[in-house]
A and B are shown apart, each in its own frame.
Chain A
């Protein structure tokens, strides 16, 4: 079976069409078989050198200008990706741990169906999410099964959510030993009285516990009566005492006092519904051994609970702890999503994001970056095309799917989900063979540097790009409809002397265009002219009267930072200008960006 896939692939590797049809059997993982599969996944990851992953989301960008484009600095790219990552949902997470042995690629592909079901009824992992109708439609066209996803998708909690939920799940938890040791503010009279009262209560209760232990001859009725009289309850098979508290301060006091009885009394915290401690539960231990046993039991319960709550994140943790290089198609969009859904809230700037991410995923290989280095003109967004563009290199890769016990169902469409991750691993293998470089160049964190906010380090992504400082860019909007870039350029050329020098015009969306001055200083002059009534004349004056507005790059940056994600860039820039007086701009330094015509949005597509 696997052999057949293999041969059909290597023989027809040259043809895009056949490549598209080549299907590997990918293990589909849902709620029902998730826990059973976990061990297998762990083994797969452990035995592999690399891990390729690919996500299927409910959307990517809501408006044309929200898409990361060549005019973006690392920070604005990140903010755009962050905006998308926070709103859209991952419906499928396909994962392919793989190893390379010469030209042989051993793959273990899995495809996880995810759905953010609110298992704990706490509004987690996500209260709501956005869907792009067109995205869902195109997914449907590819045979996506939404019912499987929603009915049988695996839920999850992020690391941050898990720690928040621990307390809320209602199970009593062990008091954190650190809080016990930190003796806080000086005791007031009320505190002393409170502690004294509780101490005597605990003392009496403990005494009775010790007595009841010695008097094992009691029949059930007597022990029951005793419990009633003493107000003692049972926690599992152990005796316990619940002390209600009104504030965290009291919790602190009780815990401090309890250290006196630490030999045979273990304090537990009981959470109230509204995120606070409701009570402290003291549990009586029969012996030292019993105490250890009890603590272990609690730990087991907690682990089991965490495992249940964590859900799919278990897999993300496995990837993270394996420290193996992760191959992804689009570093920024994939990992902002992974960070937001499985680690925690996204930080507000790109440097914090990079450092936070690299602590969880130290080795990330951005395939689009790698692709650019080898085949600068290729577009990686279409994997089969990207693959065929490499055909001029001789780089045969045999794919062997090594998943154990793969259920091959008759439903072929269904089985085909998750092919992308295998293709990524294949593409990666090809690129590596071509590059023949040692591992170090791939594994270092250089891919992250492409995203560092350090302005000088922005890479030239493509050889035919001209780099331009963001200072030399001017956004203009409020233009007449039905204006094309070339027409606009003609109009501008005659409107003012600054346009005598070389400049370029591109539309970013249908509402706004960008003017690139290839000579520095001109952008400033132009903005000054537009904003100064006295200097205005001629056709430029007319254009301004008709609503033309112009602003520098910082307005755009501010719009991204303040989250003015309007459908049209013009509206966002207007809002950004309005808010500029009350908001101090922090990052006004110029950044270099890459100017390339291929990245600009084609007006015809809008």
Chain B
């Protein structure tokens, strides 16, 4: 979505940057950016905690492996807000986040400037937990990967060194599984041995030898009191070895170099023949596994030992889960500090944050809104700010509001900080960058477009925008929460659901549904979706065909979903019903009438499907993503009900009519005014 739109602009900005980089390579340093990977994550997280606590706001930006899982999943002209949400949901569920930029900004009253701390986290959904493996898979959009490559994204660092994570839901599930594994009774251990039967001759022989060896060790232990610590190697030339050690204050035989199958045999032998010996398998925190045969004094002692061993395994498991949470700790930090989160056209970003770090995305936009507020109470989208606020909109001089162009327009002093000769008027906010306790205000703006840098740009735009809105940071005290400032109030928690359509989603709860949206008022009940018609037919021809059958004014417009499908917008919803009925009639009769009928051109081939708008929503909600829309429609299986239920139709229409209430209307009016203005210009 966003990355898509920025495409043509980024290379421009990039080429400019790189050329400026060449001229000043020696005089300035590269942009200071804190790169965070697995190895320095823990230490960085500790530092970041205090930085976020002290921050006035935190800017974020994400890089993903893709945006749309099929061309038709892109934002289309006729996407209703709920369909749009389904498309964003699909994107967030299918693609992976590979980089996460976090940049806390703090107003420093001494230097009269903002201090920013850009962090660039490499993230990769590595599976850290072996006992909880829902095989994780993600999609890569070829063009997006190519785009990342164009900006020298380091895939090796990402995959080799990226920080892994668990969402809150995944953590809960993992804990539950752990509970199950080491829970109440220890059935698991007994059942496992039952499964194994000694059939192969080699196993029988091995078991016999082990029995003898263990017996010797045990009797040595009991009779001499101090068994020789080094028992003889039991197999010539192999790596197998045993050694007397202590396990939880008890004498034990540590087993090394055996195969897992052999260990199972040993376990079986111990269980069968030695009442006072216990087989223990333990993992230390580096998941280095160790196996012991432990001697116990009594039944009571044996139970104790089993319990101790189980508790230990559980502790190790818990530690592993804690470690596996990984990057989510950053999200938890942002959430618990309730800081103002700043993003640029960030609805998709927020959806990714939700699905990766909180839990599965809710099925509807309404549920999403109801839930996201609990985790991130204040979000501001700089793209909304720049487009909806009249002052800023004017300042943008109708140029693109993409991240890089907004940055160079609003914050030239930062972009060209290397060229100190150019002086900028006082109204520009001064921003410094601090990384690893080194502060700099002079750097080479050229460099890679990494998530950390993009987050920094977003934050700069926000700071500058606040300045233009008449925000005086000098008077503004630390205790004031930026998010509660009335000047920003209109824009907080409003995100673009679809930038191209101008649909805005309001994340504030406590409003009625209708109030949560600013959506265009299409009559979705008047739309028919047609797919699998002969490929060579163009929108114009389809319109002609239908007009011949239903009158020249019957169709308002025809719009391509992709090559294989179109939306036909009828004048009214009765025509939708008429069209679908007629189609069915024509298909059921094979007479000459149907061949000569104007619609026969569309129905040629006999595979043409048609359905109302709700079917489109159903198709979008499927987790399948076929590249061609008609394939998708067939796979989802809406073909069987090309005939809408007229009763349900009217009911649904009622539901989906959006009433724009006065409370939201001021925002919308400004917005619309701006849009008209932009169009005129």
Q: List residues of chain A with CB under 8 Å of any chain B CB.
A: 58-59, 61-64, 89, 115-118, 123, 126-134, 136-137, 139-140, 145-147, 149-151, 248, 274-276, 481-482, 484-487, 563, 567, 582, 604, 606
Contacts and interface: CB of A to CB of B under 8 A. Distances in A.
A145 B156 contact: yes
A276 B640 CA distance: 31
B91 to A, nearest CB: 11
A140 B160 contact: yes
A130 B624 CA distance: 13
* A-B residue pairs, 9 tightest by C-beta: A146-B155, A133-B136, A140-B160, A128-B141, A133-B125, A140-B159, A150-B149, A147-B156, A127-B627
A145 B158 CA distance: 11
A61 B138 CA distance: 12
Contacts of B159: 136-137, 139-140, 146
- Max chain B CB contacts within 10 Å: which of A58, A126, A127, A151? A127
Nearest to B538: A274
B143 A133 contact: no
A248 B138 contact: no
B66 interface: yes
B141 A127 contact: yes
Nearest to A603: B195
Interface string B602-641: 0000000000000000000000100100000001000010
A147 B155 contact: yes
Contacts of A276: 536, 538
A133 B138 contact: yes
B223 interface: no
A174 B105 CA distance: 62
A606 B180 CA distance: 14
B338 interface: no
B155 A248 contact: no
Contact of A486 (B191, B563, B624, B627): B191
Contacts of A132: 135-137
B135 A62 contact: yes
Given A131-B96, A563-B624, 6 more contacts: A128-B139, A131-B137, A134-B127, A136-B124, A146-B158, A150-B145
Contacts of B135: 61-64, 132, 134, 567
Contacts of B187: 482
A582 B126 CA distance: 41
B186 interface: no
Contacts of B191: 484, 486-487
B195 A130 contact: no
Interface string B56-81: 00000000011001110000000000
B535 interface: yes
Interface of B: 65-66, 69-71, 96, 124-127, 133-143, 145-146, 149, 154-156, 158-160, 180, 187, 191-192, 194-195, 535-536, 538, 563, 624, 627, 635, 640
Contacts of B141: 127-128
A146 B69 CA distance: 22
A128 B195 contact: no
Contacts of A59: 137
A80 B382 CA distance: 46
A133 B180 contact: no
Contacts of A64: 135
Given A150-B155, A582-B640, A567 B563 contact: no
11 contacts: A63-B135, A127-B141, A128-B69, A130-B137, A131-B139, A133-B96, A133-B137, A136-B159, A146-B158, A147-B155, A275-B563
Contacts of A61: 135
Contacts of A136: 124, 159
Contacts of B192: 604
Given A482-B187, A486-B195, A131 B160 contact: no
A126 B127 contact: no
Contacts of A123: 71, 627
A490 B415 CA distance: 73
A128 B124 CA distance: 18
Contacts, number: 108
Contacts of B69: 128
Nearest to A567: B134
B139 A274 contact: no
Give the interface centre of B71, B149, B187 by most chain A CB atoms within 10 Å: B149
A126 B139 CA distance: 12
Contacts of B66: 128
Contacts of A116: 142
**Candidate in B125, B135, B138 with the most chain A CB atoms within 10 angstroms:** B135
Contacts of B155: 146-147, 149-150
A128 B154 CA distance: 20
Contacts of B145: 115, 150
B195 A485 contact: yes
A597 to B, nearest CB: 11
Contacts of A485: 195
Contact of A117 (B136, B142, B535): B142
Contacts of B158: 146
B127 A151 contact: no
Contacts of A140: 156, 159-160
A118 B627 CA distance: 15
A481 B188 CA distance: 12
A133 B70 contact: no
A121 to B, nearest CB: 8
B602 to A, nearest CB: 16
Given A134-B127, A137-B159, A582-B640, A118 B146 contact: yes
A165 to B, nearest CB: 14
B159 to A, nearest CB: 5
Contacts of A128: 66, 69-70, 139-142
Nearest to B187: A482
B138 A137 contact: no
A151 B126 contact: no
Contacts of A117: 142, 146
Contacts of A484: 191, 195
Contacts of A126: 142
Given A140-B160, A150-B145, A133 B124 contact: yes
A376 to B, nearest CB: 15
Contacts of A274: 538, 563
A130 B69 CA distance: 10
A606 to B, nearest CB: 8
B149 A151 contact: yes
Contacts of B156: 140, 145-147
A485 B195 CA distance: 8
A62 B135 CA distance: 6
B73 to A, nearest CB: 10
A118 B195 contact: no
Nearest to A139: B159
Nearest to B560: A274
A140 B137 CA distance: 16
A486 B134 contact: no
B137 A486 contact: no
Contacts of A604: 192
Nearest to A149: B155
Counting chain A CB atoms within 10 Å of each CB, the highest count among B70, B96, B126, B142 belongs to: B142
Nearest to A126: B142
Contacts of A130: 137-140
Contacts of B194: 486
B505 to A, nearest CB: 26
A582 B639 CA distance: 12
A129 B154 contact: no
Contacts of B124: 133, 136-137
Contacts of A129: 139-140, 142
Contacts of B70: 127-128
Contacts of B71: 123, 127
Contacts of A118: 142-143, 146
Contacts of A133: 96, 124-127, 136-138
A148 to B, nearest CB: 9
Contacts of A248: 536
A149 B124 CA distance: 18
